[in-house]
Structure 1
């Protein structure tokens, strides 16, 4: 909480305490049946301000000194003794005010003469509620601080974990792409410059835009299109992919590099050189509802011992970025691998 707001809350509380005390003084008839405002401002107001000041002094002695430096560092026994000692210190102050200060301005709080033991009881009873409020406020602020620190730690941990998961995406793709471009340059292919240009666009996206937690959906789709274009160049056109987009792409945002694992997995483990069995990718958008569908035939003659690329990775990222806002279905039906991902996009 802002320190200025906290100051205003404390200041407002003591103003309310003073106002209540003044209202009680008016209601008890200490000024007679007809309120004497001259007497009110010259006697009642100064007395009540002094009494409220003493209450505030006791409260902050307990709240700022006894609770943090005694109760929270030692035990309740030391705290109780310190609290009693504090009352013994404040009792003479209360006694002196009743016996010396108030009589000089014509005020007397009690009909009977006030002795020190009575002053002790009055001091203790007057501050009983403030002791409780000090304890409540102190532990409430501790709880709030711990909660804020916990939330900050969780955010930092989430940020670190997402950065780590995202960093695992890039090496897989870059390794394959650089190998393809290297082969093109060895063959002095005319497509090598175009491939390098596509690669530079991908690197720019990975290093700049993907630093954000969410990017424009149009940017992510453009990234996938460049990935597919590079795959086709690397395979000399022997890559058959149906890439369709249904719906209106506007200002919707999505987590960057969240779809590449599925596409790369299809390239690595699927059949993509058969025009009769192309990889089918469909992206449909309806407002904030996003659906990614991918179907590819499994290449049984090209079984990779390392397994799929980053499926556990993308599942973890989805759970962190879209808790209760996504549904991922990954199935194998006969000879086909099918991915169906639905996400409720953020604004």
Structure 2
């Protein structure tokens, strides 16, 4: 309880200091001016009433500011009149209670005189006026914060735009560098295929698979921004086939996906990059612990995950670079509607998961 009170006092210390200075200075000035001081109970009750009027009127103004009614100013005026009348009644009641049971009738009658009523009215108008200035200060602070937030958002958008421009520039340069006559490469692969076709059909088929894989990667750069996953799923199966040929069937990888996944539209080369990294950095030769590639669909959206045993001598730096590139592409394409997570568990397994709810 004490901790909560201290936290509250710290939060509203400016108010507490302000009211303390005001009350002390007013009591001293008026007390020395008239030559007498009131009772502590009287000061406590009267200033409590003043403070309640101040904050109540502030709350009334803030509530009225958000209303869209055509009669809000009329309602505000009538409510303030009600505040003044209630303040007057409570002020009289406090003074009567202080004098109770002695001279309370005289106190009540004295309050009905014009000078006393005007004095109380002035007191009410004083704190209502102060609360109006406080309300205007609060509105000023709110507008200032909104303006600062808008400026900060504008600056962040500007920085984001510049980052996009830099990324686009770097991507364009990388794309141009990659366009060193790909047709020449395909022609050479075609020549190799024709040369080995008669002597080794498996090698010839591997050349065709490699050619299609390269063609897919190159065409993905200037193709659809969000093609269906069918083409990439096919290339993953091709990649698995190539690695099986390379390792003479000593490859243990499970690739599971629903047929509906082929129709899902998603940015290209995310799935293929994850699979390539799995082959590069994972232990894919353990029949008892095969690597897993999984695509699943649910109400939450698309999920692509890989899980593999960590290869001996695994270097995380290069792998993380590939994941960072995927994460940047997801952020640029889908914002907060897609995410990438990866973990290296104590069981010496590496897991990667890409989730997207953009569909």
- Give the structure-2-normalised TM-score: 0.45
More helix by share: 2
- Give the structure-1-normalised TM-score: 0.46
- Report the structure number with the largest CA radius of gyration: 2
Larger RCO: 1 or 2 (CA < 8 Å, sep 6+): 1
